[in-house]
Amino acid sequence: MNQEEEIIVIGGGPCGLSAAIELQNKGFSPLIIEQGNIVHSLFHYPTHQQFFSTSDKLAIGGIPFFSTERKPKRNEALVYYREVVHQKQLRIRSYEKVTQAYKQQDGSFQLQTKEKTGNIRHYRAKALVIAIGYYNSPNRMNVPGEEYPHVYHYFHEAHPFFTQKVAVIGGKNSAVDAALELEKAGAEVTVYYRGNDYSESIKPWILPEFTSLIKNGKISMYFNTEVTEIHQDAIDIVVNGEDREKHKADFVFAMTGYHPDHSFIRSIGVSVDETTGRPMFDPETMETNIHGVYIAGVIAAGNNANEIFIENGRHHGSYIAEDLAEKWS
């Protein structure tokens, strides 16, 4: 049997939560369906992670975000968003994954989900807000050995790698952050980056520390380097396009970024630009080319993950709520 809903928000990250709050403010009662728990991506950030943004720019729903520092850390954000959900009494189905969605002839949407227990649930909604992010789709290097269990595409905590030889692949913020924490925890760290110099995107307040550790031999750094194969205890690299070397590595962190998974929105009929990865939508309402399907948050940026963050994606919900309130009034 179908559970009848007015609006379903798919994704319980900050932008999905913000959209649900804005919809509530217009008198709607949206249901959020989240495959993990709220702000699941933020939970998977490194335990030490500090945000780019100040706390006021991460706040949603008119609820102030107070932090011990100007730029809050991961744990403070988790506490804040839990409190937002509590205060706003948002309706959330956690640990439930939307596996199928399609538009019916009457204009409503039929959804099928799978709970963590394996149970299948069915919903029908008049409108959908899709607020899924990138974090579940890491960029694969597509090299032999990438599937080994000692290879990670996420960095969470440095302690397990004390005294271990660790290869960090990548040269942007996630790679630099991981390298710094690993070195601090006593790992023997080597960073491999295909660029020929430090990335301009590295946070300016951590670059001096990183370069100092390299100059002092605490971290090894290889530019113009491609990893061609990963073994159980080593990696093969090519430096400057010609020099082939094998380096010892007990663990590997492939910090090569993330990309949007468009398979779900495409399955509903949303058009996606093949070059930019940007879904087709009206920036004034966030409605896609499929009437009744809206997007919110980083998914609107397409392949450019540096275009939309919490601080600007949190406003998408107000555009959506305004449009639906006007259409359904």
Q: pLDDT by residue (tens digit) across 295-306?
A: 999 999 888 777
What are the pLDDT digits (tens) for 159-184?
999 999 999 999 999 999 999 999 99
Domain ranges of the chain: 2-136+258-327, 151-254
| Pairwise CA distance, residues 130 & 11, whole Å | 7
Strand, helix or coil for residue 168: strand
Per CATH, the number for 2-136+258-327 is: 3.50.50.60
Q: Give yes or no for residue 310 having a pLDDT over 90.
A: no
Query: CA–CA separation, 202 vs 190, rounded Å?
Result: 17
Q: Would 2-136+258-327 and 151-254 be classified into the same CATH topology?
A: yes
Q: Which CATH class is domain 151-254?
A: alpha beta
Report phi then psi at 103, rounded to 5.
Answer: -90, 135
Whether the model clears a pTM of 0.75, i.e. scores above it, the answer is yes
State the maximum Cα–Cα separation within the chain, in Å, rounded to a whole number.
67
Q: CB–CB of 12/310 below 8 Å?
A: no
Distance CA 293, CA 8 (A): 10
The 10s digit of each residue's pLDDT in 109-144 is: 999 999 999 999 999 999 999 999 877 788 899 999
Task: Give the span between the Cα atoms of 321 and 329, in whole angstroms.
Answer: 12
Give the span between the Cα atoms of 135 and 11, in whole angstroms.
12
pLDDT in tens, 33-49: 999 999 998 998 888 88
